[in-house]
């Protein structure tokens, strides 16, 4: 009887993975016997090479930036950090430029050169360069390098709060046709939740008796992007009750008995018909601005939006409050000499 291989390289989520039997006396495919580690190589030959190095434990190659970032992302994945996928996506875009770079050689000129060839927004380039800095810092702490690169970063762009006025919202909402999209719009406006939280929402977390919506699913760890429990107002309650009676699956925002994975097309179509540009995320800003305009305190608004403290909320929304710095303005008076 031929013994099974020590490991195999298999396709996994659009890439490759190293797969092995935890107990070699049993088949790899036996229940609970499969170990898996995602590989970062983009092709079969590269994946086979990467798998051989990992399995043999003989990767004595220099700690280039490519090796550093690969190892850094692997630690994030092992710790189930929520930022892992975004880091992976960023590295795919960065890899060609940075993979073989000696971290000791990274300087301002190299960072500026990357920014010039990347041809992306300042915020994207800034994020990617910060990832380089963070990964090198991780490698230095782990003893893989002594490099302390002099990083250059593009200036952080001033964040614009994109919101709709009441008139613009009504004009846009009138052109939202599909029932699932109309429900999404009301959820986005009245809960101020992020798009992913709304699309993940299930009926078991909508408490009609107490009038509350729990935006955080069971088992999800709260991150910097917190998903709070928020109350529903009367208009949202009525819309949810109608949707609940017509429900065909466990998800609140559904179409044809299935969870809606992406709502962007519905927004694009309504934007074109109405002449008002709106995005799923702009509803969060719209609700926050309207609340601030109505005099809601920044502390309350911070809790509702899932911010850790009111400083972030104030930075973006305090200026919309009717009493914003009014006391200061009124204290500045001319006096007769």
pLDDT at residue 333 tops 60? yes
- The number of beta carbons lying within 10 Å of the beta carbon of residue 56 is 9
Geometric angle at alpha carbon 74, from 73 and 78, rounded to 5° = 120
3-state secondary structure of 332: coil
Residue-level pLDDT at 158: 62
Q: Where are the domains of the chain?
A: 1-60, 62-158, 166-320
- The number of beta carbons lying within 10 Å of the beta carbon of residue 239 is 18
d(CA 39, CA 12): 9
pTM for this structure?
Answer: 0.60
What tens digit of pLDDT does each residue of 130-170 get?
A: 999 999 999 999 888 999 998 999 987 665 558 999 999 99
Q: Which residues of 132-141 are buried (b: 16+ CB within 10 A; e: fewer)?
A: bbebbbbbbe
d(CA 249, CA 183): 15
Question: Helix 65-78 crosses helix 84-98 at what angle (to 10 degrees)?
Answer: 170
pLDDT at residue 1 tops 50? no
Q: Which two tokens stand for residue 63?
A: 């700690």
Hey, CA dihedral for 192, 194, 195, 200, is it positive or negative? Answer: negative
What tens digit of pLDDT does each residue of 213-262 get?
A: 999 998 888 777 789 999 999 999 999 999 999 999 999 999 999 999 99
The CATH superfamily of 166-320 is Intergrase catalytic core (1.10.443.10)
What tens digit of pLDDT does each residue of 255-305 get?
A: 999 999 999 999 999 999 999 999 999 999 999 999 999 999 999 999 999
In angstroms, the Cα distances linking 6 to 13, 32, 33, 48, 305 are 22, 17, 13, 13, 50
pLDDT at residue 66 tops 80? yes
Find the mean pLDDT for residues 179-184: 97
CB 249 within 8 A of CB 259: yes
d(CA 138, CA 301): 36
- pLDDT confidence of 190, banded at 50, 70, 90? very high
Domain made up of 62-158: CATH architecture:
Orthogonal Bundle (1.10)
pLDDT at residue 4 tops 60? no
The residue among 84 and 54 whose pLDDT is bigger is 84
């Amino acid at each position: 009887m031929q013994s099974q291989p020590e490991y195999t390289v298999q396709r996994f989520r659009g890439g490759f993975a190293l797969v092995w039997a935890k107990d070699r006396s049993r088949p790899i495919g036996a229940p609970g016997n499969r170990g898996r580690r995602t590989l970062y190589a983009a092709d079969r030959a590269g994946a086979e090479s990467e798998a051989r190095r990992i399995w043999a434990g003989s990767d004595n190659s220099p700690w280039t930036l490519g090796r550093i970032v690969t190892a850094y992302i692997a630690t994030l994945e092992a710790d189930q950090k929520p930022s892992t996928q975004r880091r992976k996506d960023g590295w795919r875009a960065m890899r060609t430029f940075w993979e073989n770079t000696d971290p000791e050689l990274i300087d301002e000129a190299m960072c500026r050169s990357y920014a010039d060839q990347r041809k992306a927004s300042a915020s994207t380039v800034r994020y990617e360069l910060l990832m380089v800095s963070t990964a090198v810092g991780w490698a230095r702490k782990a003893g893989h390098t002594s490099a302390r690169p002099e990083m250059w970063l593009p200036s952080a762009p001033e964040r614009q709060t994109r919101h709709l006025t009441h008139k613009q919202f009504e004009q846009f909402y009138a052109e939202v046709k599909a029932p699932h999209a109309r429900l999404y719009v009301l959820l986005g406006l009245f809960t101020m939740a992020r798009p992913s939280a709304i699309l993940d929402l299930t009926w078991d977390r909508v408490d009609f008796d107490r009038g509350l919506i729990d935006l955080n699913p069971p088992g999800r760890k709260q991150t910097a992007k917190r998903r709070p429990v928020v109350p529903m107002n009367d208009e949202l309650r009525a819309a949810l009750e109608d949707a609940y009676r017509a429900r065909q699956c466990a998800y609140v925002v559904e179409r044809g008995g299935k969870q809606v994975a992406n709502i962007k097309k519905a927004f694009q179509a309504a934007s074109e018909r109405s002449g008002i540009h709106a995005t799923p995320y702009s509803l969060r800003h719209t609700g926050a601005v309207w609340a601030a305009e109505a005099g809601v305190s920044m502390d309350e608004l911070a809790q509702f939006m899932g911010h850790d403290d009111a400083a972030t909320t104030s930075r973006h929304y305090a200026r919309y409050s009717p009493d914003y710095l009014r006391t200061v303005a009124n204290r500045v008076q001319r006096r007769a000499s």
